[in-house]
Amino acid sequence: MKLFTFFVLESLLSPITLTGYGLVVLWTVSVSQRKNLSITAIAPLSCRWMLHLQGIRLDPVAHQLMQTLPSLNAGLNWAVVGPTLLAMNLSGYTPSVLTVPVPGQENLGNMINTRTLFFDQVLRERVGPLKNAVEQVVILGAGFDTRLFKFCTGRGLSLFEVDQPDTQRVKIQALTKSGIDLSEINFVSVNFNQENWVEKLVSSGFVPGKHTVFLCEGVTYYLTEAVVKQALRAMAEVSGKGSVVSFDFFSQSLVSGSHPWVWLKPGLGLLEAIGEPFYFGLQENNADQGTHVALSELLASCGFHLDNVQSMGPTNFGGLATAVVA
């Protein structure tokens, strides 16, 4: 009955949702291309906003960014999500894409929810009141991430966000417009294709050898394997004993389009069309081990040992990992 009620309400309100969605896509693509902003960075921000609106994960900074980023339109945002939220509240039914799945039961629609809460937990465990050894936190490829504000400010830590200049500049402007205090965050603008991000990080106040947490959400698959290894080695070399890196990854079958999902190849083609294609994926070993062996070998070759890994989906299409400097 809940599903039926939700379906009826969604159908009745679908003209608003579909019109809003179409206009949001046009707005976001147009502004992002004109201002040289990452389009895919909108997805994790939108996820955090929906979790905020559902009361699952409160994040007022993410809420503010959704209203003030130039690549988004506040009115159109509400046209997209408002009807669905209304249908959910009236019916008591939550569609799969808006749920937090049981670990290991994710699909590509809701895996970002799992990913979001996984990285939240990493920061809770590493920078909580009993983890005073951590001195620095670095978000690499930060995009529109808001975790430093949620978990790390007010703790006397050195905090850094590293990202492309255009995306970072727009983010700073939007946060300032929203009245968010930025005084504790060191924003490091880097052209990753032309500059050494470690040198830029150090010149911005990062101290090599200190106990550091690196977080890389939604980054690895947009890089080549050589660049992934180079980045991991750099993190291992520049950080102190006990330092950690946490990141997510996809399997090689997903990145290459050989995964059995029939709609995957069109999705990968769309990423190429907007200039943000996938490159890196980990080779699966077998159905039981998934990518774990390849992951352990990769980390060992770069100066880390695997501390924790959480596979995503019944088919192990990807995973979430935390590694410690060896």
Query: Quick one: angle between helices 60-68 and 42-53, nearest 10?
Result: 120
| Model pLDDT, residue 286 | 60
Asked whether residue 129 carries a pLDDT value surpassing 90, the answer given is no
Q: Which tens digit of pLDDT belongs to each residue from 231-281?
A: 999 999 999 988 999 999 999 989 988 877 767 888 888 888 888 899 999
pLDDT at 99: 94
Q: 264 or 189, which is more confident?
A: 189
Compute φ and ψ for 191, nearest 5 degrees: -90, 100
| Angle subtended by helix axes 42-53 and 74-91, to nearest 10 | 40
Q: Is the pLDDT of residue 122 over 70?
A: yes
pLDDT > 90 fraction of the chain, expressed in percent and rounded: 77
Backbone angles phi, psi at 302, to 5 degrees: -110, 10
3-state helix, strand, coil in the chain (%, to 5): 50, 15, 35
- Predicted pLDDT of residue 195: 85
Helix (H, G, I), strand (E, B) or coil at 159: strand
Percent of the chain with pLDDT over 70: 96
CA distance 320 to 307: 11
Dmax over CA atoms of the chain, in Å, equals 60
* Alpha helices (runs of H) in the chain, residue ranges in sequence order: 2-35, 42-53, 60-68, 74-91, 111-127, 147, 165-177, 197-203, 225-238, 252-256, 264-273, 292-301
Q: Is the pLDDT of residue 20 over 60?
A: yes
pLDDT above 80 (res 132): no
How many Å apart are CA 217 and CA 227, to the nearest integer?
16
Mean pLDDT of 286-297: 75
Give the type of residue at 87: A
Report CA Rg, the chain.
Answer: 20
Helix (H, G, I), strand (E, B) or coil at 247: strand
pLDDT in tens, 61-85: 999 999 999 999 999 999 999 999 9
